[in-house]
Amino acid sequence: MSFVEYGDTIKDGDTAIVFLGHESMFPVKVQHGTVTQTKYGVIRHSTDLIGKKYGSKVTCSKGGWVFILHPTPELWTMNLPHRTQILYSTDISIITMMLELKPGSIVCESGTGSGSLSHALIRTVAPTGHLYTVEFHQQRAEKAREEFREHGVEHLVTVTNQDVCKNGFGVSNTADAVFLDIPSPWEAIGHAKSALKAEGGRICSFSPCIEQVQRTCLAMEEYGFTEINTLEILLRVYNVRTISLQIPDLGKAAEDNSSTGFDSSNPSNQGSPCANVQQGTVQFKSGVPLREMVGHTGYLTFATKS
């Protein structure tokens, strides 16, 4: 099993996603002799999972059923154990696009955190690219290495435990892009410039506070970065539902019906447009925004090394 190489069959040691519904799923490490409890009953790894195809419908001991999905960076973002606050797919998608990442790209990241963005970056630059990720916290760095090894992507990532503001990324004139998610990104702009390739490299900084953005932009200008711009991505969900509205009485519909001999009591006419007119309502689909929406997560500041 690998997050960047799809496999058809569930094997011992794989990380799989148990899907109960769009709002209910969780990861599980497949192991011989192990069982997993769900609200629909027990899943026995040896008989219910190992050897089955990903995407299979598995019946639990109580008669309910779940789907077993192959992990992807998007599914992992929704189910990973939180060691820090993470980035979600809304921000990750624009980061990947604006940094102009592709297979073969070299990317530097700080900090690693829970590895949500890291998995997406690895999947984007695979199979020939590489991610250099720096984490200040030793335990989080060790846990990240363990997860990358379990997920079959350790050959695509190098995890370093150090302070990026003092020691940099450990590479020079190599990276196509740099991403910063640290409390004081302005202190790492110089190291980011050194890590980027000679010219044209892209940088992104994620900060929750506008004061951090201001200081980061000043540092970027000081180090000669150009095309500096800041974005805020807000996700607004619409609920598609059926709405019934009354048809206004324009005084002509009744006359048209009588002149054409329309009989609303005839069952064969119940589904016709004239039947809706006679009843005085019409139904149609409409998209209505939810009353509550996800608010501010952070500001994304992008720039180019000139």
Amino acid at 101: L
* pLDDT recorded at residue 276: 46
Cα three-residue angle 130-182-99, rounded to 5 degrees: 45
Q: 131-177: per-residue pLDDT in tens?
A: 999 999 999 999 999 999 999 999 999 999 999 999 999 999 999 99
Give binding residues for S-adenosyl-L-methionine as ranges: 114-117, 135, 163, 181
Q: Which pLDDT band, with edges at 50, 70 and 90, does 205 fall under? A: very high
HSE value, Cβ hemisphere, 13 Å, CA-based, for 205 = 31
Count the domains in the chain.
2
Upper half-sphere CA count for residue 283 (Cβ side, 13 Å) = 7
Of 25, 48, 71, which residue constitutes the final position of a domain?
71
**Residue 48, pLDDT above cutoff 50:** yes
Q: What is the CA radius of gyration of the chain?
A: 27
Q: Over 80: is that where the pLDDT of 277 sits?
A: no
Please indicate, yes or no, if residue 271 is contained in any of the structural domains. Answer: no
Residue 269: pLDDT band with limits 50, 70, 90 = low
The mean pLDDT value for 38-46 works out to 94
258 in any annotated domain: no
Same domain? 159 vs 221 = yes
Residues 136 and 99 in one domain: yes
Q: Is residue 264 part of a domain?
A: no
Structural domain of residue 16, as residue ranges?
9-71
Could you tell me if residue 178 is inside a domain? yes
Task: State mean pLDDT over 282-301.
Answer: 88
| 184, pLDDT greater than 50 | yes
The whole-number average pLDDT for the span 209-225 is 97
Residue 199 confidence (pLDDT): 87
CATH number of the domain that residue 175 is part of: 3.40.50.150
Residue with tokens 């700080």: 110
Query: Smallest Cα–Cα separation from 151: which of 7, 284, 3?
Result: 3
Position 270 confidence tier, pLDDT thresholds 50, 70, 90: low
Q: Which residues contact 273 (CB under 8 A, 6 or more apart)?
A: none
Cβ neighbours around 167 below 10 Å, total? 11
Whether residue 90 sits in one domain with residue 65: no
Query: Cα dist. 221→1, 26, 113, 216, 304 in Å?
Result: 44, 44, 28, 9, 10
Residue 9 in this model has a pLDDT that exceeds 60: yes
Does the pLDDT value for residue 303 go beyond 70?
Answer: yes
The pTM of this model reads 0.84
pLDDT band at 266 (very low <50, low <70, confident <90, very high): low
Is the domain of 187 the same as that of 48?
no
* Cα 162 to Cα 293: distance, rounded to the nearest angstrom: 37
Give the distance from CA 119 to its chain's centroid: 10
146 is written with which tokens? 């363990």
Q: Are residues 201 and 87 part of one domain?
A: yes
The residue-averaged pLDDT of 223-247 equals: 92
Tens digit of pLDDT for each residue in 100-131? 999 999 999 999 999 999 999 999 999 999 99
**Would you state the structure tokens that stand for residue 13, as one six-digit string?**
């040691």
82 shares its domain with 65: no
Indicate whether 163 and 223 sit together in one domain. yes
Residues 63 and 91 in one domain: no
What pLDDT is recorded for position 104? 97
Q: Which residue positions form the known binding site?
A: 114-117, 135, 163, 181
- Residue ending a domain, among 46, 71, 96, is 71
Answer yes or no: are the C-beta atoms of 110 and 184 closer than 8 Å. no
